[in-house]
Chains A and B, each alone.
Chain A
Amino acid sequence: MTVIKSKNNKNTGEKVGEKINGFHKNGFVNHKLVSVDETCIDKNGSIESNQDINNQYKRDENFKESFEQPTLITACLTYLGFYLLMIIGYINQLFFVPKVATEKNRDDYVPLFAAFESFYLRYVYRRVKDCWNRPICSCPADTVTLKDRVTKDYGWTFEFTGTETKCLNLGSYNYLGFAQNKGPCADDAIESIHKYGIATYSPRRELGTNALHTELEKLTAEFLGVEDAIVFGMGFATNALNLPSLLSPGCLVISDEKNHASIILGLRLSGATIKVYKHNNTHHLEKVIQQAIVNGQPNGKPWKKILIILEGVFSMEGSIVKLPEIIEIKKKYGAFIYLDEAHSIGATGNHGRGVCDFYGINPKDVDILMGTFTKSFGSAGGYIGGSKSLISFLRANSHAHCYASSMAPAVTQQILTSMKIIMGLDGTNEGKKRIDQLARNTRYFRKRLAQIGVITYGHEDSPVVPMLVYLFSKIGAVVRTLTKRQIAVVGAGFPATPIMEGRIRFCLSAAHTKEQLDYALQVIDEIGDSLGLKYSRKPRDLNQIEY
């Protein structure tokens, strides 16, 4: 029996975009389009056998991601609002030139500020600037205390009012709740200061390595399931300074569209050729690799090496990378994978070991495992894990290892204690409890948000939940209203996100209790009505969601 691929999904009665060969157009990605024993006529009229379609889609069934697009009216109004804002900005700039725009004593010099960036900074960002860079005065655990500020001249200057607001903290990267100033981690860190001092005062290759670093490297390697690991003092610098050591001109790098700024900086610094593939789209990745291998370098020689750079959990989208398929592609074409697990280490997987644990993949399949200790371990710094030869190479050739000051003892001890708790080596099941609590919180929060009717992006298991609000004024309004209701969140607009997709990002934590989440969801429901945030057109589950 042959059928034409229908637009309407059999299983759900809603409007779904067409999915042809893995690319989805408007609508959310749904994966149960074809049943088992039918052959299909695809868009070009050729008959495809169902077996390879099923193989393509079978694994997609496990990916529970959604990137719902808004209605046409919302998109149009967003653009119109932005154009109005630009018109207002130009009129403002024409009549009232701000003090910073006039540059004195700079005749015959190139202007200091780039035109569009400075315009955006002064006439769009400045108006809602009170929602960012908010100073805190307590430990950013499950609640945080914000210092209140007011601006009397629309964002040019700020003054402190002297009062403080204690808010529920939905903005800190505190996935496993280790951001505490009391408890075993804090006690161990204080003891390590007594023993080793405040800082190491030296790079690793001079006098900056102490017993804690060696222990941490061994423990990290055991945690990840790889042969060896190397740690650095700064997470951003781990990417930016190690990619130039691993790559050189003549290498090809294929990086995801939405990779972090540290990766992009490191790649540009290295001088390798960079090709970008569409976010989490394995078909496009395969096409790009095929083209690159066929064409080779611009001078005709084959590429020295091909490296695919991914992130475990993307911090602005909340999506989880499709690792099994990409590992298949890598084995087929002989490429290497560099996996940046900054947000996923500790936060995903049954045992908190990251994306490899989440999918049940052998970590030795991924060539370079990179991550940071900033998010789940409550500390600072980064690591790279992999084979012994890779780590020995990095110990000899990495810029961050040779020149950057090494990790301070208290910071190292915090990671050691928290990692031991997560692995269960301290004898309690505190680590497992935290991982389970985080997973439970994530599922509950995402399901409740879908029930409320706001659009959220990403995989249903990722603890990063971006809620789309599309307009700058709504980002400002939501952040201000939530602060008044004692919830602290982070809003994200251009240039961190595409210009029409402003979002509010919730970072869930194992430290949040159900009551706190319920309060936050109730406030979000009220705000969704009063500010008009309920853009979702998916059918809403009206049953009570269990925790």
Chain B
Amino acid sequence: MIKSLLNAVLKFINYWIYRYLLVTELYMTEPWERVTIHVFLFLIFLVQFAFNYSVLLPFTARLFNFQIVT
């Protein structure tokens, strides 16, 4: 049962990785190019995460008079 669950999860992940490769047109690139673009997109994601955490979250919290307590 666990094996079938694992297979289902793997199938799901593989399907969406395939769709991601198609949409970003990485489907037709060579492996080293793919790794480069994966790193590049991950860096952009990190920058976006950092921006949201440091700038956007306090700003929107202030708008609603909502103090973030850590």
Contact = CB atoms under 8 A, between A and B. Distances in A.
Contact of B22 (A82, A127, A154, A473): A473
A85 B27 contact: no
B25 A473 contact: yes
Interface stretch (B2-10, B28-36, B49-57, B58-66): B28-36
B36 A88 contact: yes
B24 A84 contact: yes
Interface centre among B15, B23, B26, B29 (most CB of A within 10 A): B23
B19 to A, nearest CB: 5
A47 interface: no
Contacts of B36: 88, 91
B28 A128 contact: yes
A474 B26 CA distance: 11
Contact of A92 (B19, B24, B33): B33
A261 interface: no
B21 interface: yes
A84 B28 contact: no
Q: Is the interface of A mostly helix, strand, loop or mixed?
A: helix
A476 B28 CA distance: 8
A471 B23 CA distance: 7
A541 B19 CA distance: 27
B37 interface: yes
B25 A471 contact: yes
A81 interface: yes
B65 to A, nearest CB: 34
Contacts of A44: none
B33 A81 contact: no
Contact of A530 (B15, B23, B27): B15
A91 B37 CA distance: 11
Q: What size tier do the contact residues of chain A reach? A: 20 to 34
Interface residues of B, number: 16
Nearest to A129: B28
B28 A472 contact: yes
Interface in A494-547: 530-532
Contacts of A77: 23-24
A150 interface: no
A477 interface: yes
B28 A473 contact: yes
A358 to B, nearest CB: 38
B27 A477 contact: yes
Contacts of A80: 24
Contacts of A88: 29, 33, 36-37
Contacts of B22: 471, 473-474, 477, 531-532
A473 B37 CA distance: 16
Interface in A51-106: 77, 80-82, 84-85, 87-88, 91-92
A154 B15 CA distance: 23
B15 A472 contact: no
Contacts of A477: 22, 27
A420 B36 CA distance: 62
Nearest to B25: A81
Contacts of A530: 15, 18
Given A88-B36, A88-B37, A91-B36, A82 B25 contact: yes
B38 to A, nearest CB: 11
B40 to A, nearest CB: 8
Given A91-B36, A92-B33, A84 B26 contact: yes
A473 B33 contact: no
Interface string A119-151: 000000001100000000000000000000000
A346 B56 CA distance: 64
B47 to A, nearest CB: 16
A476 B27 contact: yes
A476 B27 CA distance: 9
A126 B26 CA distance: 14
Contacts of B26: 84, 473
B23 A81 contact: yes
A472 B30 contact: no
Contacts of B19: 531-532
A248 to B, nearest CB: 46
Contacts of B28: 127-128, 472-473, 476
29 contacts: A80-B24, A81-B23, A81-B24, A84-B25, A84-B26, A87-B37, A88-B29, A88-B36, A88-B37, A91-B36, A92-B33, A127-B28, A127-B29, A128-B28, A154-B30, A471-B22, A471-B23, A473-B22, A473-B23, A473-B25, A473-B26, A473-B27, A473-B28, A474-B22, A476-B27, A476-B28, A477-B27, A530-B15, A532-B23
What are the 4 closest A-B residue pairs judged by CB atoms, nearest first?
A81-B25, A127-B28, A473-B27, A473-B25
